[in-house]
Structure 1
Amino acid sequence: MEGIILIGGGGHCKSVIDVIRKEGKFEILGIVDSNLPVGQLVLDVKVLGKDSDLSELSKKCKNFHITVGQIQSNIVRKKIANELMALGAELPNIISPSAIVSSYSKLGQGITVMHQATIQADAMIGDFCIINDHALIEHEVHIGKFSHIATGAIVNGNVEIGENVFIGSGAVIVQGSKIPDGTFIKANQLVK
């Protein structure tokens, strides 16, 4: 089993640890987080270092996954992604075995698909997106890079979502809608 290092040790990281273990493709070697002391445990995974240690860690492990969450901003996620790409790191998708991902969908890199999320046929998910628990991405939906579809959100067919978009928990995006880059949609909001 290949090793993987997670970047970010907060709540989203804890959820991703669970998905990685259930997926069974990677052994988690540790976490990088500049706000946590080296050696601290996040669940049962040790903090290996800070963001400034990424270059050295990339010489020992090729696989990384960004586990910094995103609500108000994804500036930190983008900075880390750019640094990892510059280091030539592998950025695999982490997909829960309880998620349903159509073999006719297209996924970029560094994507997280959480428990019981659904991605239907001909959907396209951009790099570094988070598709959270119970989110529904219907047919022919296009989601731009660094967007986050929160828990229980419903994105109906033929929707175009730009980059850096946050769609809150329980929000419903009506079929054929176009969501511009950088949009923040509150929880339970209906968007036409």
Structure 2
Amino acid sequence: MKNLIIIGARGYGREVCGLAKQCPGYNTEYMIKGFLDDKLDALDGFDNYPEIISSVENYAIQENDVFVCALGSVQWKKHYVEIILSKGGRFINLIHPTVIFTSNVTIGNGLIIFMYSNISNDCIIDDFVTIQGFVAIGHDSKIGKWSHVNAYSFMGGYAILEEEVCLNTRSTILPHITIRKGATVGAASLVIKNVKENSTVFGVPAKRIEF
């Protein structure tokens, strides 16, 4: 039996804890050992959750430990995952049993995929990708490492997300569109042309915005 440790004990960490209990491996392949978070009082006022064991930086990995990273920020997810990897930690996938994979889907390691998402045929999902609930990914699409796809988003056939992309809630990416590395798509946006690296787009149709 593996001991699952969730990186992040804030709101999203609590959601991922719930997902872990709904996945087929719960109490057969793994039990939930607890959270890693530097905010040791993050669960104060919340009942029925495992304890916060330590911060990521101070945690000493044990023999049967496995990990998932429950951080909604692409940059912080990458940061903390790389700390655990540098210590020899191993990550698993948490995929809700209602997720539909059509034929020839290739998936990586360290994935988190929530309920009722539909991943069509011949898609490629790279390592440490997070897919929230009710996402639809069209055939032959690719999602690069570290990317985060929020709830109710849609990607048309042959769409590409490069590494470290964030699609916010209800984003729509038309077929054959590429979102370059590090880009962010705002909530409820409609992307009709390629998005440049490290840029943020928003609106219908989506246009680049500056902060």
Mark yes or no: TM-score above 0.5: yes
Q: Conserved in 2, the CA contact under 8 Å of 1:38 and 1:48?
A: no
CA distance in 1, matches of 2:182, 2:62: 34
Q: Which runs of 5+ in 1 are unaligned?
A: none
Q: Conserved in 2, the CA contact under 8 Å of 1:14 and 1:43?
A: no
Displacement of 1:105: 0.7
Aligned to 2:69: 66
Q: Conserved in 1, the CA contact under 8 Å of 2:109 and 2:127?
A: yes
Aligned to 1:2: 2
Displacement of 1:51: 1.6
Give the share of equivalent positions with the same residue, in percent.
Answer: 23
**1:27 paired to 2:31:** yes
Q: Conserved in 2, the CA contact under 8 Å of 1:7 and 1:67?
A: yes
Displacement of 1:32: 0.5
**1:138 paired to 2:143:** no
Q: Conserved in 2, the CA contact under 8 Å of 1:14 and 1:42?
A: no
Displacement of 1:39: 8.3
1:154 to 1:42, Cα distance in 2 relative to 1, 3 A:
farther
The within-5 A match list for 1:14-53 is 14-25=14-25, 26-37=30-41, 43-53=48-58
CA distance in 2, matches of 1:36, 1:105: 39
1:39 to 1:96, Cα distance in 2 relative to 1, 3 A:
closer
CA distance in 2, matches of 1:175, 1:125: 17
The within-5 A match list for 1:1-192 is 1-25=1-25, 26-37=30-41, 43-54=48-59, 56=60, 58-70=61-73, 74-192=74-192
SS at match of 1:89: coil
Higher relative contact order by CA 8 Å / sep ≥ 6: 1 or 2?
1
Q: Conserved in 1, the CA contact under 8 Å of 2:10 and 2:43?
A: no
Displacement of 1:43: 4.5
CA distance in 1, matches of 2:42, 2:173: 42
Give me the CA root mean square deviation. 1.8
1:24 to 1:3, Cα distance in 2 relative to 1, 3 A:
farther
Normalised by the size of structure 2, how large is the TM-score?
A: 0.83
Number of aligned residue pairs: give it: 187
Deviations 1:61-115 (A, max 9, x none): 3301111122xxx222111111222222221111011111235211111110011
More helix by share: 1
SS at match of 1:48: strand
Q: Which amino acid aligns with 1:143?
A: I
Deviations 1:32-65 (A, max 9, x none): 10012498567422111112222x1x12433011
Normalised by the size of structure 1, how large is the TM-score?
A: 0.90
Q: Which amino acid aligns with 1:63?
A: V
CA distance in 1, matches of 2:40, 2:24: 26
Aligned to 2:195: none
Q: Conserved in 2, the CA contact under 8 Å of 1:118 and 1:137?
A: yes
